[in-house]
Structure 1
């Protein structure tokens, strides 16, 4: 079986992706900074999953993790990420840097290592997990918005450089997902209701929604898809005009009175 590496797979969206990859027939390397969480997910998948504690912000940790794999991965999913909320005027340099180190540099380090191995055996697929915050900025998100926007552009650059070498690179940008880092947000019923009301489909997304999109991009069905950011948000980023009233007096504007 082909091998899939999923970072940040100890919980939430990453865990769902790891389970979906196993169902699709991959052996799965479950990587997470939390060793116990990674082990629990791997145990839940079964014999075709292994767990490892990996610090994706450390080139040494990343290289060591790849070196012990039985074969080059056919699929890499860069899901690991963190957020430090707060207004920019009050954001510490330490919080800024740690989010950049994990979200952006980590994505680069893991992808570079995976791509070199994929290229050596004829190719593979990389899917980066971005965010709608990388498409439309959100206030008080610290460095998170900047890193996700950068991941979108990094995805394009990787696709341009590695596509000719057999490695497809795409990204999934989740919207309002009731999983992982967002679970504490949606524990507040009022916040949950307000946020749902902003989504044209009228509901929050799930980890399963994101896992399904990732597996589509990894599949042969998406074999001609490269350098794209697939937004999975129920229409959220297209909803600027949602709920804005229009007076009946303008309903006839543009109608030919002679018709």
Structure 2
């Protein structure tokens, strides 16, 4: 459903959501569709993307396209962003959501897993953000929203590598702002807390961990992917035209308390 306020009106805008076939990415794509955007969902699994595209189109009645490409490969990214604009039109909004987790003690953390996390969680945002910005800057406008994390600020045992990538993504967001804000782009981050998705299902199903999340979060619960949509729409809309280089944490208050 489109917003009634012109400050939040994004009807007719074109958005690309990386990692959009499931979890948080799928929820964010759905939120943009409900707000009236045409959305391109990205991933590497063509079958999963096509399935998501059809389900989102059926659920929202919106215009959804699927473009598969590897967000860690510079040449594939260049071709993929061009393909997204060919099928949907000039990009107004980019949501850099692609990411993954690998939990292991830091002393035993596999080197290949470290590199894979860096490529997927950080380098992909640099590559896709750069490709999108090269097209947005000549047009003088664009919104880039990097999906950071509560772990952009804090860490827990076993996720040091993930926290390193998300902390770096926070600073990449600020660096993109420094370089691209003079050209009319707004680059901000969205930092989810503990969100209930298929990827976090093992943690949700662990009664001790879920009890810890509820105790540690002032809101007293896990977040749902839909909890992120309001902040996303703010960052994607004219309401945030003078907001740049900021990270909005949607974490039920966890980052604000000891």
Same fold (TM over 0.5): yes
- CA drift of 1:41 comes to 1.7
- CA drift of 1:187 comes to 1.7
Q: Secondary structure at the match of 1:216?
A: helix
154-163 vs 44-53, which moves further: 44-53
| Greater helix fraction, Structure 1 or Structure 2 | 2
- CA drift of 1:225 comes to 0.7
- CA drift of 1:184 comes to 2.1
Q: 1:210 to 1:118 in 2, by over 3 A?
A: same
Contact 2:195 2:224 in 1 (8 A): yes
- 2-structure distance, mates of 1:100, 1:10: 21
Q: Secondary structure at the match of 1:4?
A: strand
Question: Which residue, 53, 57, 63 being the options, matches 2:68?
Answer: 53
Task: Give the match for residue 249 of structure 1.
Answer: none
- CA drift of 1:142 comes to 4.2
- 1-structure distance, mates of 2:212, 2:82: 47
Over the residues paired in the alignment, what is the CA RMSD in angstroms?
Answer: 1.2
- 2-structure distance, mates of 1:142, 1:167: 31
Query: What TM-score results when the alignment is normalised by the length of structure 1?
Result: 0.89
- CA drift of 1:181 comes to 2.2
- CA drift of 1:211 comes to 2.3
Larger Rg: 1
- CA drift of 1:112 comes to 0.1
Task: Give the match for residue 132 of structure 2.
Answer: 114
Contact 2:141 2:185 in 1 (8 A): yes
Task: Give the match for residue 163 of structure 1.
Answer: 181
Question: Which residue, 2, 7, 15 being the options, matches 2:26?
Answer: 15
- Structure 2 unpaired stretches of 5+: 1-11
Contact 2:213 2:220 in 1 (8 A): no
After the TM superposition, which segments of 4 or more aligned residues of structure 1 sit over 6 Å from their partners? Answer: none
Q: Secondary structure at the match of 1:126?
A: strand
Query: What TM-score results when the alignment is normalised by the length of structure 2?
Result: 0.90
Task: Give the match for residue 96 of structure 2.
Answer: 78
Task: Give the match for residue 146 of structure 1.
Answer: 164
